[in-house]
């Protein structure tokens, strides 16, 4: 395979036509951050390959399998460089499209939602629903996670009583809860959602609550503070909410929305 000649005289000129802040949502930012690092890794790999051609390769010209090993070696070096500060190209792309510096860590700890959902007033939305009193056992279980719930509420701008209500409806405060659909932990997060949210250990109460609250905050933002639609999206998926243009006609989802709001009513009336 012939080498690729690489010449970059002005790397910024390719990005001048792209509008700043065109990427706004946290989901878009996460995808852009990953794509930017992958692009820098590929570019770095090409540069390493071009440089090694002048020295007959890293493993010499006569080594058995040298070309294959060298390609793998260059690829791994490029990935490690991109994981750090790298050449700055990934940050350049990310900052051009978001107006922000590239996060050092793409995990849940570094990606936050602006607390806009704090402005949402749920009292008008839940006034027509009956309050549901949780069992004393479940209340005692969630008390152990009070500080984590407070942290999640402050970090993502979600009413702490809403977080408690979702935990009660999802798992009754049992951190080892596992559903038939393989949803796990206090806020019943499935593996694909955990990966999207950056939750590394879904059984860890802190990661589970932070991840579930982050997802709930995204849904509240998506549906402009409509609590019933956000809860329906949490239970049945936002795709089903969009498909039916409202709460899906699933008995489980309708019961879930009523149960969470019932718990929320209880907490709001007994502060």
Tens digit of each residue's pLDDT (9 = 90 or more) over 22-74: 655 666 776 777 677 667 666 665 666 666 555 555 445 554 444 444 444 44
Q: Residue 178 domain-assigned? A: yes
> Could you tell me if 178 and 64 lie in one domain?
no
Which pLDDT value is given to residue 172? 96
Average pLDDT over the chain, rounded to an integer:
76
Question: Which range has the worst mean pLDDT, 55-64, 120-129, 256-265?
Answer: 55-64
> Could you tell me if 68 and 190 lie in one domain?
no
Range of the domain at 235: 116-269
Q: Is the pLDDT of residue 174 over 60?
A: yes
> Could you tell me if 137 and 216 lie in one domain?
yes
CA distance 225 to 239: 17
Q: Is the pLDDT of residue 216 over 50?
A: yes
- Per-residue pLDDT band at 211 (split at 50, 70, 90): very high
> Could you tell me if 125 and 41 lie in one domain?
no
List active site positions: 170
CA distance 60 to 42: 23
Those residues whose C-beta lies under 8 Å from the C-beta of residue 142, and which sit 6 or more positions away, are 149, 164, 167, 168, 173
CA distance 153 to 159: 6
5 versus 166: the higher-pLDDT residue is 166
Q: Residue 5 domain-assigned? A: no
Q: Residue 15 domain-assigned? A: yes
Q: Residue 6 domain-assigned? A: no
Question: Which range has the worst mean pLDDT, 106-110, 121-125, 202-206?
Answer: 106-110
Which of residues 66, 98, 130 is at a domain's end?
98
Work out the percent of the chain whose per-residue pLDDT is above 70.
62
Are 122 and 260 within 8 A, CB to CB? Answer: no
Which pLDDT value is given to residue 268? 86
> Could you tell me if 21 and 76 lie in one domain?
yes
Which of residues 63, 98, 133 is at a domain's end?
98
Which pLDDT value is given to residue 109? 39
> Could you tell me if 154 and 258 lie in one domain?
yes
Q: Based on the structure, what is the number of domains in the chain?
A: 2
Q: Which two tokens stand for residue 135?
A: 């069992």
176 versus 48: the higher-pLDDT residue is 176
Q: What is the CATH number of the domain that holds 226?
A: 1.10.530.10
> Could you tell me if 78 and 122 lie in one domain?
no
29 versus 87: the higher-pLDDT residue is 29
> Could you tell me if 84 and 147 lie in one domain?
no
Query: What is the torsional sign of CA 86, 92, 93, 97?
Result: positive
Q: Residue 147 domain-assigned? A: yes
> Could you tell me if 120 and 224 lie in one domain?
yes
> Could you tell me if 121 and 91 lie in one domain?
no
Q: Residue 2 domain-assigned? A: no
66 versus 21: the higher-pLDDT residue is 21
> Could you tell me if 76 and 141 lie in one domain?
no
120 versus 64: the higher-pLDDT residue is 120
> Could you tell me if 53 and 174 lie in one domain?
no
């Amino acid at each position: 395979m012939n080498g690729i000649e690489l010449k970059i005289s002005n790397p910024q000129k390719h990005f001048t036509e792209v509008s700043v802040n065109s990427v706004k949502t946290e989901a878009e930012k996460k995808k852009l951050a990953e794509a930017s690092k992958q692009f820098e890794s590929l570019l770095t790999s090409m540069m390493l390959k071009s440089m090694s051609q002048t020295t007959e390769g890293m493993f010499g010209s006569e080594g058995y399998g040298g070309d294959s090993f060298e390609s793998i070696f260059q690829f791994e070096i490029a990935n490690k460089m991109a994981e750090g500060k790298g050449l700055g190209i990934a940050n350049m792309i990310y900052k051009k499209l978001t107006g922000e510096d590239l996060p050092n860590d793409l995990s849940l700890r570094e990606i936050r939602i602006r607390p806009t959902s704090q402005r949402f007033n749920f009292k008008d939305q839940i006034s027509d629903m009956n309050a549901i009193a949780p069992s004393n056992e479940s209340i005692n279980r969630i008390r152990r996670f009070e500080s984590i719930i407070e942290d999640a509420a402050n970090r993502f701008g979600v009413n702490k009583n809403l977080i408690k209500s979702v935990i009660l409806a999802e798992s009754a405060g049992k951190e080892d809860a596992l559903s038939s659909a393989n949803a796990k932990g206090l806020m019943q997060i499935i593996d694909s959602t955990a990966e999207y949210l950056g939750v590394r250990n879904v059984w860890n109460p802190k990661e589970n609550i932070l991840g579930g609250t982050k997802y709930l905050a995204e849904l509240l933002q998506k549906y402009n503070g409509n609590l019933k639609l956000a809860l329906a999206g949490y239970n049945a998926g936002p795709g089903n909410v969009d498909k039916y243009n409202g709460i899906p006609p699933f008995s489980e989802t309708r019961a879930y929305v009523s149960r969470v709001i019932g718990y929320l009513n209880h907490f709001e009336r007994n502060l």
